[in-house]
Chains A and B, each alone.
Chain A
Amino acid sequence: MIETLLNLELTPFILSFKLAAITTLILFCISLPLAWYLSQTHSKSKPFLEAITALPIVLPPSVIGFYILYALSYNSPVGAFFKETLGVDLVFNFTGLVIASCFYSLPFMIQPLQSGFESLSKSMLEASYISGKSKYETVFKVALPNIKPALLTAIIVTFAHTIGEFGVVLMVGGSIPGETKVASVAIYEMVEIMDYSSAHIYSGLMVLLSFFTLLAVYTFNHKQKFSGFIK
């Protein structure tokens, strides 16, 4: 057992965390303006946009994986463009994984942010405009600081969801060691070759990490409710 622990290959874990960190960062930048727009708009396109952004929750990962694989491969205009113009391959490598993860985890970033923004008092935002502040300043200085629990939930859940993804990653990235073989794929392969002791360690680590991440989120959100002074 100890020997297995010492010989443990950590690359899949590092790869998982790297993928989750990059995906979370990209999704935060994309989702922030989109969630703000969705929370403030009365446009008829809102339900349409909401339905599209929520699709990855409902669709089987294999369906998302299949479409992304198809869209990024050389047979599609997108894949061909990247290959011919920029010389970048988008499938069966880390870049492809990041793109796929961004689609897969999008709703987990947008939805908490949007409902956070929607829960803010309309008059508080208007008070900021009346104070002479632009929308940009209002978002960063008034809206975001007042939805800290939702913000933290969005970031952590997106991160955790990306760590936990399996189907999409397997379809778009395959299982190339050091490149696309993330923790969840590695566990799958261990079980397949009946290396149960490694699978136990990997799975146990995943459970512990996930539990403490969620515990940290809930502890923070609980504390937020009961603090009164700024100093």
Chain B
Amino acid sequence: MIKINLKNSIIDINLEIESTSFVALSGKSGSGKTTLLRVLAGLEDSVGELHVESHVWQDSSTCMSVQKREIGFVFQDYALFENMSVLQNLLFVAKDLELAEHLLHVTEMSELKDRLPRTLSGGQKQRVAICRAMMKRPKILLLDEPLSALDSQMRSNLQNEILSLHKEFGTTTIMVSHDPSEIYRLCNRVVLLEDGKIINDGSPKDILLKTKGSQKFSFEGELLEIKKVDVIFIAIIAIGQQLVEIVLSSDEAESLHVGDKVNVSTKAFSPTISKN
């Protein structure tokens, strides 16, 4: 069990997390997600208490240094040691060649172990960063939007790798993410932050599924263009990565403007039977 009760000028968080769970931190930018991770790591000052299992990491009289906390941290910008090869990056954390080779094997990076970070692609760099974070066999793994700079295929590969490492090492993982599908696949709890405070906390299903139980399909999108074709209007709407065309009535076309955030929904066709 990890008990967090920490406060500074940006955040005010009171949270309990079960050991070995996978928690997503979500919320708008500036809501304090990254600050919370940095405070947990000891990279930023705060007051309050932090208990990790039976150990006190921080209370009114003590504050464990960054170096002593059993954490792994994966930065958005990878933060690899540019002067060291992939393998040296891992061994810098702990001189455990067996573990390093195992991690590189799991992430399919064994062949690139003598390369310098600057010769790697974004996905490969982030794999190295994740392996490096695991070299300490951390109790808590903190991931700060680790996959946001990667394309969708690379994302889904790395999601699987993160999940399998999380399970293998039995870490408690806290990940900042904005991607609902990523959160749904990986996490068993979502904590929503706003202005440094928790505004919602629950299972991914409770928090992310907006149309629970209704017969409605509903998507949020952005209106990109309205064009007139003969007598009808057609709207081009971006929903996630997809573009769709939707027919509008002239009234609708007048009330909508390019750039509007819109909700695209349809009721499921449910056949009904009645006696003649």
Contacts from A to B (Cβ < 8 Å): 121, 123-124, 126-134, 141-142, 145-146, 227-231
Contacts and interface: CB of A to CB of B under 8 A. Distances in A.
B37 to A, nearest CB: 11
Contact of B116 (A121, A129, A132, A229): A229
B66 A121 contact: no
B183 to A, nearest CB: 23
B116 A130 contact: no
B116 A127 contact: no
Interface in B113-166: 114-116, 118-119, 132, 135-136
Given A126-B43, A228-B116, A230-B114, A146 B93 contact: no
B235 interface: no
Nearest to A225: B118
Task: Count chain B CB atoms within 10 A of each CB in A126, A129, A131 and give the residue with the most.
Answer: A131
A131 B66 CA distance: 9
Given A126-B43, A228-B119, A142 B67 contact: no
B155 to A, nearest CB: 21
B137 to A, nearest CB: 12
Given A127-B79, A130-B41, A231 B114 contact: yes
A231 B73 CA distance: 28
Contacts of A142: 81, 83
B219 interface: no
Contacts of A129: 43, 66-67
Interface of B: 41, 43, 66-69, 71-73, 75, 77, 79-85, 88, 92-93, 114-116, 118-119, 132, 135-136
Contact of A124 (B69, B79, B85, B114): B79
Given A124-B82, A127-B132, 13 more contacts: A123-B75, A124-B80, A126-B66, A126-B79, A127-B80, A128-B92, A130-B41, A131-B93, A131-B132, A146-B81, A228-B118, A229-B115, A229-B119
6 contacts: A127-B73, A129-B67, A130-B71, A131-B132, A133-B92, A141-B92
Nearest to B38: A126
A139 B41 CA distance: 20
B107 to A, nearest CB: 17
A130 B81 CA distance: 13
A146 B71 CA distance: 24
B83 A146 contact: yes
Contacts of A128: 81, 92
A150 to B, nearest CB: 13
Contact of B73 (A121, A130, A228): A130
A196 to B, nearest CB: 50
A131 B80 contact: no
A145 B71 CA distance: 25
Given A123-B77, A132-B136, A230 B82 contact: no
B92 to A, nearest CB: 6
Nearest to A127: B79
Nearest to A135: B67
B81 A124 contact: yes
